[in-house]
Structure 1
C-alpha cells in the first residue's frame, strides 16, 4: 500500500533529519518510492504555508537540541529556497534565471 500524499509533519521531519542536501527525489528514495518525487513539489505549491507554520513544526525539536548543548556552543539553522539549474530543463515562463536584488 503506497502513501498517497505528503504531510507537513513528514516533510518537516525529513528536512530536520537530513545531514546533506534535501530533494524531492531524496525523500521519495527514503520512502522506497511510496511517495512520488513529482508529488512533493506539487504538494508544496498547493499549500500557503509560511515561515510561522514551519517554525511551529521545527521549534520543539530545535528547543530540545538547544537544551542539550553547552551554553557556549554555537549552532545555526539555515533554510534556503534557491532553485538548482538542471541541464535537461529548458527555460520557460516559470523556470529561468532569477536575480536576488536584495543582496
Structure 2
C-alpha cells in the first residue's frame, strides 16, 4: 500500500475524533516518564524499544502497538491501562500538533 494511502486512511480515522490520540498518548507517556526521573534512553533500554521509536511515540508520530504499550507499562511499573489515562480535554501543544 502506498504511504500516501496509509496516511490518508489514518487522517480519515482521526478526523472523527475531537483530539489526536497518538499525540495525547505520547504527551502522557512523556510526562509519566519524566515524573519518575527516567530518561528517554533509559525507558527505551528498560522496555526493549528503540530510543528513536520511543521518541516518535512521545511526539505523537507513531501509532503504538498494544504489545509495546504493555512493554512500556512494565518498564514504568504501572498497569497498561495507566498509559491510556490521558486527558482528552486539554489542548494539544502547538509544537506537537504537526504531523509528517
Q: Quick check: TM above 0.5?
A: no
- Structure showing greater radius of gyration is 1
- The structure in which a higher percent of residues are helix is 2
TM, length-normalised to structure 2? 0.29
Which structure would you say has the larger RCO, counting Cα contacts within 8 Å and 6 or more residues apart?
Answer: 2
